[in-house]
Amino acid sequence: MNSSCFSVLCQKNRQDDGFTSEDWYQNYLRFVQLAGLELKTIEAYSRWVRQLGEHYPELKVPHLTPGQVQDFLIHRQDIRKLAGSTINQAKQALKGLFRDHLGYQWDIWGKIKPKRDKPLPYIVSPKDIRILLDSFDDGRYRALFTLIYHCGLRLFEARAIHPKDIDGDRLILRIRKGKGGKSREVPISSEVHQRLRAFWSWHRNPKWLFPAAGRGWKRATLRQHLRQNNNAMSSSTARTGFKVALASSGLLKRHQRIIIHTLRHSYATHMLDEGVSLAQISEYLGHASLRPTLVYLHLTERSETKARDALATLPLPTPR
């Protein structure tokens, strides 16, 4: 996040000078900025820190005790009836402040285990994925979302790719600072590599594979704007391009829940259908453990077929 984004964040967070001008709060914002988190994540984390301060208006946040922080989370969970996923986000935000930034060695974080009722990921068939990808008229978006699907990337990971991150000899894509700041390598097909190379050869931006177009460009000068821009394509620009293509694809008549992350979910499920091991897919997705990857076992056509075949072998009582 550059300095202008940091200034915007400070302004959006501003409620009163007594809170936002505190040195500890400004230092915290810089800390999460350097952690490489997306702007929306930083905004969410800073909101939780402010809400904690509002919960204890007479106290300074850095001076709170572990019990007070735990009581705040319990209040949000039991009184406000917030969802488990929301409480977990609050927990991660406050853990980042007190443990990672301020260095407080508290033992409360393992005790806070909000129940998370997560629905199964939504996926679409390979046929519908092709329909969607064919609906992108702009080559920038077609290249971006093709890569997201073929490598199972998160949007922020794809936007941050540099041309040097693609190893054409090994057909490997390097993801630097994925979720949690972890890096990984993901295989790409020869055809996808060739298409990405052709796309980059068209704009030749020295820093970004998917550069921003900037303001004031016209179709005739798009290539020049992409070549000279020092910023990557923004999340909002990517989402707008996705929504336009989705609307024109006709898929919304059958699928009401398609979002960009559906491409990542579909990648994982389709790879399982093709016989790729769960451990390998977990590594490609950048999961910290197998647990979040296991959910895709419930979504594959192959596993459902195997389950039906297995059911047919189970003994039944003799008909009477």
CATH number where 14 lies: 1.10.150.130
pLDDT of residue 199: 95
Residue at which a domain ends, from 52, 85, 111: 111
From 150, 159, 270, 287, active-site residue: 287
Give the pLDDT band (50/70/90) at residue 99: very high
Known catalytic membership, residue 219: no
Tell me which of 1-15, 35-49, 127-141 is least confident: 1-15
Q: Which of 179, 184, 223, 255 is catalytic?
A: 179
The yes-or-no verdict on residue 153 having pLDDT over 80 is: yes
Question: Does one domain contain both 157 and 274?
Answer: yes
- Shared domain check, 142 and 73: no
How many other C-beta atoms lie within 10 A of the C-beta of residue 129?
A: 22
Residue 177: pLDDT above 90? no
Active-site residue 12, yes or no? no
- Has residue 315 been placed in a domain? no
Instruction: Give the chain's domain count.
Output: 2
16 and 152 part of one domain: no
Q: In terms of domains, do 151 and 52 share one? A: no
Spot the catalytic one: 95, 195, 264, 265. Answer: 264
159 and 106 inside one domain: no
What is the structure's pLDDT at 318?
55
pTM above the 0.75 mark?
no
Domain around 24? 3-111
From 91, 150, 154, 203, the catalytic residue: 154
Nearest Cα neighbor of 192 from 236, 213, 233, 161 is: 161
- What is the pLDDT averaged over residues 244-272? 92
Catalytic residue among 207, 261, 298, 306: 261
The number of beta carbons lying within 10 Å of the beta carbon of residue 98 is 22
Q: Is the pLDDT of residue 48 over 60?
A: yes
Residue 1, pLDDT score = 47
Paired tokens of 36: 């490489």
Report the C-alpha gap between 177 and 252 in whole angstroms. Answer: 33
Q: Are residue 235 and residue 181 in the same domain, yes or no?
A: yes
- Which of 111, 135, 157 is where one domain is finished? 111
Same structural domain, 209 and 254: yes
Same domain, 82 and 17: yes
Query: Do both 133 and 86 map to the same domain?
Result: no
95 given a catalytic annotation? no
Does 15 lie in the same domain as 65?
A: yes
Q: Say if 116 falls within a structural domain.
A: no
Whether 179 is a known active-site residue: answer yes
Note whether residue 286 is domain-resident: yes
Domain boundary among 78, 111, 144: 111
Q: Is 111 a catalytic residue?
A: no
Catalytic: 115? no
Closest among 111, 81, 80, 131 to 263, alpha carbons compared: 131
Same domain, 145 and 288: yes
